[in-house]
Every structure is written in C-alpha cells, then in structure tokens.
Chains A and B, each alone.
Chain A
Amino acid sequence: MAIQSTRETYYEAIINQGYTRRDFMKFVTFMAAYLGLKNSAIGQIAKALETTPRVPIIWEHYQECTCCSESFIRSDHPIVADIILDKVSLDYTETLMVAAGEQAEAAKHETMKKYHGEYILCVEGSVPLGSDGVYCCIAGRTAIDQLKEAAEGAKAIIAWGSCASNGCVQSAKPNPTTATPIHKIIKDKPIIRVPGCPPIGEVMAGVIVHVLAFGKLPELDSMNRPKAFYSKRVHDSCYRRAYYDAGLFVESFDDPNAKKGYCLYKVGCKGPMTYNACGVIKWNNGVSYPIQSGHGCFGCSEDNFWDNGPIYERLTNVPGFGIEANADKLGKVAAGALAVGVGVHAVAAALSKRKEMRKRRKAGQANLQDIEN
C-alpha cells in the first residue's frame, strides 16, 4: 500500500501531460460509449481514473508485426496512447521504451518484483514452442521462457491481436515454428483475448480502460473475448446488410453491382462468420472499414482465418482434400460417383436376381389365371 500511495493516479498523469479536465471528461465519455455503458458509468470511470493509482503494464512482443501497437496509438483519442504507452505506466515494451539492452531488462524485472501480483501483462504475438522455442528470442531468452516469467506475477493477461489470441498467420498450416496463442500456454491467469489483425484501436483502448477503471475484466464471452465488442457478427452490423437480405450481390469486383455497393457475400466476404465491431466503430477514427471500402471482410478476428480460405470465395475449403476442394465440389463428385454406383448395382441386381424374379412373375401370372371373378 505504501507503494501505491506514492504512485500518481491516471487523472494526475493526464493533467500533468497537459490535457485539460474537459479533455479528460471527453475521453471518459468516449470510453463509456465504446464499452456500451450507460450515462451513469461516465462518472464512475472518471472517479476511478481520478483515484486509482496507475497499474503498471508490461507489454511483451513475441511473434508479431506490431500492427496491434500501431492500431492502438491510432485510436481516435490520443489520451489512451499518451497515458498508457508514452509516459506513465508502460514499464516495458520493446517497441516504444527508451531503455535498451540490460537497462530495459532490469527495468522489467524491477517492475515484476515491485508490483508482483498487480501488474497487467499485455502480450502481442504468439509464442513458438517448436525446437524448444528458439524461433523467437529476446535478450537471449526464448519467448516461452519470458512469457512464463512475466505471467507468473501478472494480475491478468491481455492477449492483443490474432497472434496472441489465436496464432494468426504464423500458426497457419504447416505452422513450422509451432506458434501457439497465449491461452494455450498460460492456464492459471485470467486472459482476455482481443483478436483482430490488428484489433480496432478503440477496442483496445476500451478494454484497457475497463480493466484500469473497474479493476476487473470486462464481461467476456465463451471464447474469452470482451462481449462489448465481439458479441455481434460484422455481417449483423453491416450497412450493406439490406442488399444481402434482398439477395443483391456483387458477382465480381468489376461489375456494376460492386459500383452500386451491393453485398460482397459472393466474392468471399467473411462478415457472416466474423465477430467484431468493425461495422460499428470502424477504423481510422470512424472513417471506413473494409466492406465500406469495397472489399469483403477478411475474417481476421476469427480462429485460423488464414486456413479458412479461399479469400475471394464464399465456401471454405474442406481440410484434407487439397486446395480448391470445397464442400460443394466434393459433394457433387461424391453424389455423381454414388449415382453411377447405384446404377451399376441396379443393373447387377437385375442380372443376379433374374431367376428369382422370373419364377415369381410366373407364380403371379398363375395367380392371375386362378382369379375367380
């Protein structure tokens, strides 16, 4: 407790950064709206940020491309990035910290020791388990080693992006490094999965503000994703949904239907299977999102989306049957083969059973003669 009382609160940090209280309140209101909370929650978040000492954050990068961090610092209200990434509470992140080498590792270990059981561990990237984890080494140690050490004293873990929450491209078949998402490695800590490649910046900000402001995890669905952002399909909040229900589809990307903005379902839009908030929050400060820009949803926040291709076709491939083997193609071949088989069987049966049937027919004809009236 002694340590906590000397730590500045989020509010203090924000004001010290040069923001006004008005900026602060605007930020809090945004966050409450993203989280889908009602008006009264705005006061609660403001109060929590005013009184809660900052929670230290360790932000690890493993097998990833840093697009999650990029997305996060582009969330539409800079305060999040400013207070969390820039100055105040980010005690360790390879991408943004000033320290390097031994100093950086020392700072991390100090945080882990000092705030044992208190800090939030954010993980960006999957962890390779193949060949004893040598495919990703930081400061001379493997990612799996680093992760286990950092997770041990963490209060909770946030798995940012598809890499950390489902393995993303590096775990696509054949997954040469055995890239593994965090929840399959760490079993004894609460883990929030925030999938997406990258996740929407505002979603990341919302998740982290929820954890900081309320001191607990946001409500999660059965796949440990925050319900506020991942409870609906992209399809269900899509502004082109009316065209889908009407049955008006883009047939190819250069047809007039594409120009008219019809539904992209038939050119492989994965919106109907993808749970994300893209249709509502959108990207780049609400400017657009893939479907609005004329390209189908990629399904980037779903498990194994790289293996659920092809990208520009509606039906996904059936695993184990090579490329371009979707259920319809296989089904048609199987049904055709079966129909031929049945026909052959019918002919064979007619030959094989001909004696029996001839005998029966004669008996039946004899009965015909026997009929009295």
Chain B
Amino acid sequence: MGTKLYKRVYVWEFPVRLFHWLNAAAILVLVVTGLFIGDPLALMENDEAYKTFVMGTVRYVHFVAAYVLLVVFLLRIYWGFVGNKYARWKNFLPFGKNKAKKLGHVIKHDILLVPEKKEDYYHELSIGHNPVASTAYLIFFVLLAVMVLTGFGLYSQNASWWLPKLFSWVPPLLGGDFGTRLVHHTTMWLIILFIIVHVYLVIYHDVVEARGEVSSMISGYKFARWERFRSFVRRKEKIRKILEEPVEEEMMS
C-alpha cells in the first residue's frame, strides 16, 4: 500500500519568494546592525578617529537595509492586489469563508497537539497560509510598519531627501526620540520572537505534513491531495456516471 496521490501546486509566485528572501536578508542585517548600534562592541583601537569608520559603516548598512525593507514592504502590498489567490491581501484576514474549520484544526492539532482521529483530514489543511499563520503575518506586517515608521522617523532629522522627511511627524507622536527609540528597539525584539516561531513552525509543518513546506519558499510549489482538485471531482463524477449506466443489456446481447 502506497501513499495517496498528490498534485503539485504553484503557490508562491516568484515575486512573493523574492520579497520573502529579500525581507529575510534585510531583517537579518537590520537586527544584527541594530543590536550593534544599540550596544556597540568595544574597539581595541589606538588609531585616530579619522582612520576608522566602524559605527558609521554599521549605521550606513543599517540604513541601506532599511530602504530595502521599505521598498519590499511597499511592493508586497502592491502584490497583495495583483498576485495569485494565495498572495492576495484577503489571505491575511483571519476571518472569511471556510476559515473557521481550518482555524479550529490548526489550534487543536498543531498548537495543542491533540492526536488526529480522522484518517484523512486533508480538507482541514490550507494550501496557502493557514488562518493562524496569516493572522501572525498580519501582525508581522504591523510590526514592520512600526519599524519603518519609527526608524525613518528617527532618521528623518538627519535626512535631506524628501522621502525620509515624510516620517518626521512620528517622533513627536511618541514623545520625542526617546520614546521612538524605545518603540523601535522593543519592536525589534518582537520581530526576533516572530522569527523563532516562524522558523520552528515551517519546519514543524514540513515534518508533520510532508507537503514541501520549506522548499515551497524556494521552488514555489506545494503539494496537495488530488482529492482537492476540480479535475478529481469531475473525474469522480464521470466514473460514477459510467458505473450507474445500465450495462446489463449490452452484455446480454
């Protein structure tokens, strides 16, 4: 007895994957440089100040990565309106049709780890984001927005370009640069917490469901049971019709 039949689905389009990895790289760089800026290492350096530019370089890298993050963030929002059904903005809302059952399934069997009773539970699995994940990504978008607002808000005072200056209203709202920095730094930690859970759950789903969760963000493909496809339903219908046809007469003659 073999496995069930699976079909390959192109879930994550190229821009989605590209944005994902650009984001991952930008966030990695931003967190590392950000932690350095918050608490720089002691340099055992005896040279004059003009000979080194460590902090300046780290800050520069931080700002470049911040621009990458901002651009990717905006492009991803755009893609939420033109991308395929798994990239659409509606995916990120926790409610909607058929979501309650899937949501319940994720909470019960993936978070609380209640053993599966049903033999075949593929109807409760999501092909794109599951409802818990999509809610987490919605919160993650908000965290990124907070980072962009506070980060560019802090940066705006030094900037001469109009774009960062658009954010100059942020620090007064948060009680000056003190409050803004605090929010920026604390939100970074929330993002780190998100990454820990995100990476764990991706591996978890790959191991538990074996539908190509990890590689899907590289290749774009995930695997879904054949029973979920219209073609299957149509074929089933056809077979049913054939089976129901009165065949005795022909056989008799």
Contacts and interface: CB of A to CB of B under 8 A. Distances in A.
Q: Do A and B come from one complex?
A: yes
B237 interface: no
B1 A366 contact: yes
A357 B168 CA distance: 54
A361 to B, nearest CB: 10
Nearest to B185: A327
Contact of B38 (A328, A352, A366): A328
A363 B1 contact: yes
Contacts of B52: 246-248
Contact of A335 (B172, B192, B207): B192
Contact of B189 (A308, A330, A367): A330
A274 B177 CA distance: 7
Most chain A Cβ neighbours within 10 Å, of B40, B169, B172: B40
Interface in A99-113: none
Is chain B's binding surface mostly helix, strand, loop or mixed?
A: helix
B40 A247 contact: yes
Given A222-B168, A353-B115, A366-B3, 16 more contacts: A231-B157, A232-B157, A246-B49, A247-B45, A248-B49, A316-B181, A316-B182, A318-B182, A327-B188, A338-B196, A349-B204, A352-B115, A356-B208, A363-B1, A363-B2, A363-B3
Interface string B102-120: 0000000000011110000
A339 B178 contact: no
15 contacts: A231-B157, A245-B59, A246-B51, A303-B178, A304-B175, A315-B39, A327-B182, A335-B189, A338-B197, A339-B196, A345-B204, A352-B113, A355-B115, A356-B115, A363-B1
Contacts of A339: 196
Contacts of A355: 115
A242 B179 CA distance: 26
B178 A299 contact: yes
User: Which 10 residue pairs are nearest across A and B when measured between Cβ atoms?
Assistant: A247-B54, A331-B189, A273-B177, A245-B56, A247-B55, A352-B113, A242-B49, A246-B49, A327-B185, A246-B52
Contacts of B188: 327, 331
Interface string B164-194: 0000110010011111011001101100110
Interface in B24-47: 35, 38-43, 45
Contact of A265 (B35, B40, B179): B40
A139 to B, nearest CB: 34
A305 interface: yes
Given A222-B172, A251-B42, A334-B189, A244 B55 contact: yes
A275 B157 CA distance: 10
A314 B2 contact: no
A302 B59 CA distance: 24
A352 B193 contact: no
Nearest to B115: A352
B196 A246 contact: no
A222 B169 contact: yes
Interface in A252-283: 265-266, 270, 272-275
A299 B182 CA distance: 15
B138 to A, nearest CB: 20
Interface of B: 1-3, 35, 38-43, 45, 49-56, 58-59, 113-116, 157-158, 168-169, 172, 175-179, 181-182, 185-186, 188-189, 192-193, 196-197, 200, 204, 207-208, 210
B54 A246 contact: yes
Contact of B178 (A308, A363, A366): A308
Given A236-B158, A314-B38, A360-B210, A302 B196 contact: no
A226 B139 CA distance: 38
B178 to A, nearest CB: 4
A284 B188 CA distance: 41
Contacts of A245: 49, 53, 55-56, 59
B74 to A, nearest CB: 25
A372 interface: no
Most chain B Cβ neighbours within 10 Å, of A248, A275, A316, A363: A248
A345 B208 CA distance: 13
A210 interface: no
Contact of B2 (A243, A247, A367): A367
A249 interface: yes
A69 to B, nearest CB: 25
A352 B114 contact: yes
B55 A315 contact: no
A303 B50 CA distance: 34
A354 to B, nearest CB: 9
A364 interface: yes
Contacts of A251: 42
Interface string A326-355: 011011001100110010011011001101
A48 B116 CA distance: 86
B176 A302 contact: yes
Nearest to A299: B178
A370 interface: yes
A236 B177 CA distance: 14
Contact of A327 (B178, B186, B200): B186
A246 B54 CA distance: 5
Contacts of B58: 247
